[in-house]
Amino acid sequence: MDMGGQSTPSATTSAPARTGFNNADVSFLDMMYPHHSQAVDMARFVPSRSQNEQVRTLASGIMNAQAPEMQQISKLLQSFGKPAPVVGAQQMPGMPGMMSTEDMTALQGLSGKDFDRKWLQMMIDHHTGAITMANTELTSGANTDAIAFAKGIVAAQQTEIDQMRALLGSS
């Protein structure tokens, strides 16, 4: 009989994490999806344009982390009863750290050390924007899952920024 009582509170405890949210949570997730999508796109440029193994490894790590996080974002928004996120820089022109179409085209036209330098600079700016959005979620968000996701972004992307700055300093 006690077991039945234990399962009810755990079900009740997990429900607010899925349904308790505010506009800051939705805004954060809506913005983070296309932001992650662009980071994945930028990382996909690396194998054909960079010979630097450290840059290639970093780009692979970004793709492997952020592509699954996009699925996590979609699931969270769905649990809030919100529509699937959209991709496109034109839909979020003022989003922190987003690169313009012109920036992305210019990056695609580079290779070798010029590409590496520009890619690292752009990805530092991109990650800095993600951290800015995540910090806003940490101060304004209500959903525990979205807040935990934001904390993970701050930690992971600050580490990557430090790595990218070190790579820029050594090039």
pTM of this structure: 0.85
Q: Where are the domains of the chain?
A: 31-170
Q: What is the pLDDT of residue 88?
A: 59
For residue 12, count CB atoms less than 10 angstroms from its CB and return exposed for 0-12, middle for 13-18, buried for 19 or more.
Answer: exposed
Q: What is the pLDDT of residue 84?
A: 84
Q: Which residues of the chain have pLDDT under 50?
A: 1-17, 89
What gap in Å lies between CA 45 and CA 42, rounded to an integer? 5
* Residues 103, 129 contacting (CB under 8 angstroms): no
CATH of 31-170, one of 1.20.1260.10, 3.30.530.20, 3.30.720.110, 2.40.110.10: 1.20.1260.10
Q: What is the pLDDT of residue 5?
A: 39
Q: Token digits for 69?
A: 């996080």
